[in-house]
Amino acid sequence: MDHFIYQNGALFAEDVPVAEIAAQVGTPFYLYSTATLTRHFKLFDEALDWGPHLVCYAMKAASNQAILKTLAAEGAGMDVVSGGEYARAIAAGVPGERIVFSGVGKTHDEIKAALSGGIRQFNVESEPEMRVISEVAVSLGVQAPITIRVNPDVDAKTHAKIATGKSENKFGIPIARAREVYAEAARLPGLKVVGIDVHIGSQLTQLEPFEQAYGKVAELTEALRADGHEITRLDLGGGLGIPYTRSNEAPPLPTEYGAMVQRAVGHLGCEVEIEPGRLIAGNAGILVSKVIYVKNGEGRDFLILDGAMNDLIRPAMYEAHHDIIPVREPAPGLEPQPYDIVGPVCETGDTFAKERLMPPLAAGDLVAFRSAGAYGAVMASEYNTRPLIPEVLVKGDQFSVIRPRPTYEDMINRDNIPEWL
């Protein structure tokens, strides 16, 4: 469910007409709904009410500070994967004890910053990383709380580029080697083992891969406790998918996911951490764009938009589908026609959809890409010297620009010209 609906023939974001925002902000832009963000967080939080837990929002999905503050006010923790994301979380007022640091390539400086500023735990991805954390912690005279990410070799049945739990993926250590790695962690100074971490991928639409992975984690918990380790937390990652098309079978609900987690690990008495990103932010955001031209080609017609692959790269990168709808509701009975929907960037890959059935549209009409709140703005670039597009947040009948569009001068003036030129 989201809060982008037609009212009296016009698309609204909560209580604000989308066209009104477009008139003031200009297109293209990202638009987020506060009500959708908070609703989706609460669904996860309530789904784990059967035991101690923390829902850590995966910031890589959408990391504007206004979004972070909105979720932190509801009690969310944060899952970060870089020093920059850690700094964003701190700047948004999230306390260190609610920040989990994931990612395969944590640097010495990132580890030092997190230990100095406060951290709930590091999710360790390799033995070399674990040793560096130990060295930094000792140099600071502190203990670093850690989990170790295990790779359970489970097929998440998702797109190959977002699968993370198979043996050939770069993430975590093989679960078969977990006991020896935990034994080394117990010997290293400056480390405090607090639990186990697992994350098998993104955009999962079935519970079975989760349950298979979590069953392996439960067995490992018992084995590590028998070895003398104090395992009090289970970080189960994120990855629950969203319906990108209205015709697709809906992924499992957070309530169904929460019940499965209880079945798999509830008997262990551990605090459960989960790290949803897409399911919280995905349907909470749309991308609004304007038709520049309708081009009649040979055998097909094109809608050329002012939004491009640099603004929303998912279709080019993942062959991802987004429902695209007109901001003005089509008249009943209007016959749709097929369009290739493309952007202005000089790449054939700058194509959002092929032969997509749409109502007849004209230059100047507005369209909205649904389910664009996750991995949209955060993956955008300035390719072709196109400015990063604004982000806008709606709450009720109010809206605010939470990231402005830079000018060409802003972009160009970031360049430094060598003195010899």
Query: Does one domain contain both 199 and 347?
Result: no
Q: Which of 130, 89, 127 is nearest to 111 (CA)?
A: 130
- What does the block give as tokens for 106? 């944590």
Would you say residue 163 has pLDDT above 90?
no
Query: Does one domain contain both 360 and 240?
Result: no
Q: What is the pLDDT of residue 149?
A: 96
Question: How many Å is the Cα radius of gyration of the chain?
Answer: 23
Q: What is the pLDDT of residue 333?
A: 84
CB of 203 closer than 8 Å to CB of 278: yes
Query: Does one domain contain both 125 and 207?
Result: yes
Give the mean model confidence (pLDDT) for residues 81-87. Answer: 98
Would you say residue 34 has pLDDT above 90?
yes
Say which CATH number the domain at 70 has.
Answer: 3.20.20.10
Would you say residue 93 has pLDDT above 70?
yes
Give the mean model confidence (pLDDT) for residues 210-222. Answer: 95
Would you say residue 225 has pLDDT above 60?
yes
Would you say residue 166 has pLDDT above 70?
no
- Going by pLDDT thresholds of 50, 70 and 90, the confidence category of residue 167 is very low
Domain hosting 167: range is 34-280
> Which residues carry out catalysis?
346
- Going by pLDDT thresholds of 50, 70 and 90, the confidence category of residue 203 is confident
Query: Does one domain contain both 246 and 291?
Result: no
C-alpha to C-alpha distance for 246 and 243, rounded to whole angstroms = 7
Domain boundary, last residue among 265, 280, 295: 280
Residue 418 falls inside a structural domain: no
Residue 394 falls inside a structural domain: yes
Q: Tokens 């979720």, residue?
A: 71
Would you say residue 160 has pLDDT above 60?
no
Would you say residue 3 has pLDDT above 70?
yes
User: What three-state secondary structure class fits 201?
Assistant: strand
Domain boundary, last residue among 280, 301, 316: 280
- Going by pLDDT thresholds of 50, 70 and 90, the confidence category of residue 201 is confident
Total structural domains in the chain?
2
Would you say residue 169 has pLDDT above 60?
no
Would you say residue 388 has pLDDT above 50?
yes
- Going by pLDDT thresholds of 50, 70 and 90, the confidence category of residue 53 is very high
Q: What is the pLDDT of residue 245?
A: 73
Q: In the predicted model, what is the mean pLDDT of the chain? A: 94
Domain boundary, last residue among 247, 280, 313: 280
